[in-house]
């Protein structure tokens, strides 16, 4: 309410000041003809001024702000994959019994274009991200995810995450899996029903990880060739991957 009153007061003051100057002009020059000519000209320019300010300048500023937010967002995603995401993805993919059906398609190279990422993402929509939970060392996974829980929480609390719903969904799924495992004292004597439940949680994380990893690789390819080079050499799906350049 106070803000609205302040705006009304400012607007009224500006109109009164303008009327004062027009009156002063008439008192000095006694020429209402020129006053109305310039007044009409100024009013005629108002729609063009609105166009320039609200549609062009505002749009440019909005695009600049959006680009800055996107840059911050991708820095956060890069931190996630560097600290934990790539390692977790490599671990889950090792226990994917059908991975060989798509492994070669996930070997991203420097020759890829945007269409290659888009087409692969479409093809993977029908892929069943199954993980053989019986072969996973759940205690080892629990300890690792628990150690990374602080990272997941910091990322979830970062306000820039509001701009990326898909990645936020991945973080929630990751945090949920961490909590599920952390609340089990012994992961070696679980009933079949619990294995099935945890398998569903792992499957959810695995599928979301692959999708976000592809977008992460696309971003590096288009913006940071030197980071993309390392990401290619540490590709979690490439059994021959090595950070060492030979």
pLDDT tens per residue, range 143-187: 999 999 888 888 888 877 777 788 889 999 999 999 999 999 888
Give tens-digit pLDDT for 49-70: 666 667 776 676 677 776 767 7
pLDDT value, residue 45: 64
152 or 142: which carries more pLDDT confidence? 142
pLDDT value, residue 137: 92
Is residue 209 within 8 Å of 84, Cβ to Cβ? no
pLDDT tier for residue 3 given thresholds of 50, 70 and 90: low
Q: Please say which residue of 61, 86, 108 terminates a domain.
A: 61
User: What average pLDDT does range 91-115 have in this prediction?
Assistant: 92
Domain membership of residue 241 (yes or no) is no
pTM: 0.74
Q: Do 93 and 14 belong to one domain?
A: no
Q: Do 158 and 77 belong to one domain?
A: yes
pLDDT value, residue 233: 92
Give tens-digit pLDDT for 201-240: 999 999 999 999 999 999 999 988 999 999 999 999 988 8
Q: Do 134 and 17 belong to one domain?
A: no
Q: Please say which residue of 61, 90, 109 terminates a domain.
A: 61
Give me the number of domains the chain comprises: 2
Q: Please say which residue of 61, 92, 110 terminates a domain.
A: 61
Domain membership of residue 78 (yes or no) is yes
Domain holding 9, by residue range, is: 2-61
């Amino acid at each position: 309410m106070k803000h609205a009153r302040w705006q009304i007061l400012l607007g009224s003051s500006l109109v009164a000041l303008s009327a004062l100057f027009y009156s002063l002009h008439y008192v000095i020059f006694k020429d209402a003809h020129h006053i109305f000519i310039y007044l009409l000209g100024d009013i005629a320019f108002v729609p063009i001024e609105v166009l320039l300010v609200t549609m062009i300048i505002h749009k440019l500023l909005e695009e600049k702000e959006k680009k800055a937010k996107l840059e911050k967002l991708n820095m956060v995603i890069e931190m996630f994959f560097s600290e934990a995401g790539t390692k977790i993805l490599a671990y889950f993919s090792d226990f994917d019994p059908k991975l060989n059906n798509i492994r070669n398609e996930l070997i991203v190279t420097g020759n890829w274009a945007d269409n290659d990422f888009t087409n692969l993402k479409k093809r993977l929509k029908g892929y069943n991200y199954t993980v053989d939970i019986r072969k996973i060392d759940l205690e080892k996974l629990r300890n690792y995810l628990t150690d990374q829980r602080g990272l997941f929480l910091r990322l979830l609390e970062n306000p820039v995450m509001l701009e990326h719903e898909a990645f936020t969904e991945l973080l929630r799924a990751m945090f949920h899996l961490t909590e599920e495992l952390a609340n089990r004292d012994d992961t070696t004597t679980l009933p079949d029903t619990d294995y099935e439940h945890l398998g569903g949680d792992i499957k959810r994380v695995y599928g979301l990880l692959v999708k976000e990893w592809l977008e992460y690789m696309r971003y590096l390819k288009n913006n940071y060739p030197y980071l993309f080079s390392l990401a290619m050499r540490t590709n979690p799906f490439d059994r021959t991957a090595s950070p060492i350049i030979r």
